[in-house]
Amino acid sequence: MRHMRREALALLVLSGSLAGGCIKLKTEHEIKPIHITMDVNLKVQKELDDFLNLD
């Protein structure tokens, strides 16, 4: 009886190993660009420069 359990267990482990070897995973990677928006207020900068250069 024990001998049959060992054979059944061995068969189960073997079949699980074979089935696990057939599994394939496919991964996909996507690289997306990063957009950075910078708002520069030139009018304020010009007025500030004019104010500071009043020597």
The span from the first CA to the last CA of the chain, in angstroms, equals: 106
What letter would DSSP give residue 21?
A: H
Q: How far apart (Å, rounded) are the C-alpha atoms in residues 41 and 1? A: 87
The domain limits of the chain are 1-25
**pLDDT in the model for residue 29:** 84
Estimate to the nearest angstrom the gap between the alpha carbon of 1 and the chain centroid. 51
Model confidence at 16, in pLDDT bands (50, 70, 90)? low
Maximum Cα–Cα distance across the chain: 106
- What average pLDDT does the segment 16-34 reach? 75
Q: What is the pLDDT of residue 18?
A: 61
